[in-house]
């Protein structure tokens, strides 16, 4: 499933986290002791560490909580908020007033304006339009269920999980994804939509 949603990972050779379970890509997210945070701690050598590559650009009034990884050529714009467990890969953009929590931005992904990205993976070259929110908690606080191809539904094992946004996908302004949403690569979602489950299924 990992390579199906994020085919560009095959070409990424640096600064990308490693997945323990490619059939459940969301397994890298989750609790405070999850594998994503552990990988950042290993990279920084510090359990509160923040790694910022020398070629990354950090705007004014940005707040960064460790552990956090910001890769080469990444851009974090004015007033962004990177919360614990954020992994921003090469040439990715975290935009003005965007909040990222415990999420992966794969190379060249963009959340450039007023976005919320919680417990999510944003694919290579994917773009979130202004105001897009990747919601990560159900209203009833229950475990997040994931819908797979063919319609089968599986438990994620997580109480907090946002969206898997496939490579090259384009989400229009003010799109909201419900927890556990999967968006296949190169999807186009019009503005103001609410997306649940497997998009396009």
* Annotation marks residue 53 as catalytic: no
User: What is the average pLDDT across 90-97?
Assistant: 97
pLDDT single digits (tens) 180-196? 999 999 999 999 999 99
> Which pLDDT value is given to residue 200?
86
Strand pairing category for 145-147 and 153-155? antiparallel
Q: d(Cα 136, Cα 57) in Å, to the nearest integer?
A: 27
Q: d(Cα 83, Cα 99) in Å, to the nearest integer?
A: 7
Residue 105 in tokens = 């931005």
Report the percent of the chain where pLDDT is more than 70: 97
Q: d(Cα 6, Cα 28) in Å, to the nearest integer?
A: 14
Strand pairing category for 99-101 and 116-118? parallel
Q: If you ran DSSP here, which 8-state letter would residue 91 be given?
A: T
> Which pLDDT value is given to residue 32?
44
User: What is the average pLDDT across 75-86?
Assistant: 96
pLDDT single digits (tens) 94-121? 999 999 999 999 999 999 999 999 999 9
CATH architecture assignment, domain 2-195: 3 Solenoid (2.160)
> Which pLDDT value is given to residue 201?
67
Report the percent of the chain where pLDDT is more than 90: 77
Q: d(Cα 192, Cα 177) in Å, to the nearest integer?
A: 10
- Can you give the pTM of this predicted structure? 0.94
53, 78, 96, 113: the active-site residue? 113
Q: d(Cα 61, Cα 81) in Å, to the nearest integer?
A: 9
Q: Which residue has the higher pLDDT, 13 or 182?
A: 182
User: What is the average pLDDT across 77-90?
Assistant: 95
pLDDT single digits (tens) 46-73? 777 899 999 999 999 999 998 899 999 9
> Which pLDDT value is given to residue 148?
93
């Amino acid at each position: 499933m990992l390579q199906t949603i994020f085919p560009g990972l095959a070409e990424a050779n640096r600064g990308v986290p490693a997945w323990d379970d490619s059939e459940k890509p969301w397994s890298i997210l989750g609790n405070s002791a999850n594998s994503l945070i552990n990988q950042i701690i290993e990279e920084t050598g510090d359990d509160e560490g923040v790694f910022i590559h020398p070629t990354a650009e950090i705007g004014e009034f940005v707040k960064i909580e460790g552990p956090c990884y910001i890769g080469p050529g990444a851009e974090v714009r004015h007033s962004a908020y990177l919360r614990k467990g954020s992994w921003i890969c090469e040439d990715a953009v975290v935009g003005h007033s965007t909040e990222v929590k415990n999420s992966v931005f794969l190379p060249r992904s963009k959340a450039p304006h007023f976005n919320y990205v919680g417990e999510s993976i944003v694919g290579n070259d994917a773009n979130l339009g202004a105001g897009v929110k990747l919601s990560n908690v159900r209203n009833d606080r229950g475990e997040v269920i994931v819908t797979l191809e063919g319609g089968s539904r599986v438990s994620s094992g997580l109480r907090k999980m946002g969206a898997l946004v496939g490579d090259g996908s384009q989400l229009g302004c003010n799109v909201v994804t419900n927890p556990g949403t999967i968006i296949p690569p190169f999807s186009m979602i019009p503005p103001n939509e609410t997306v649940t489950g497997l998009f396009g299924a």
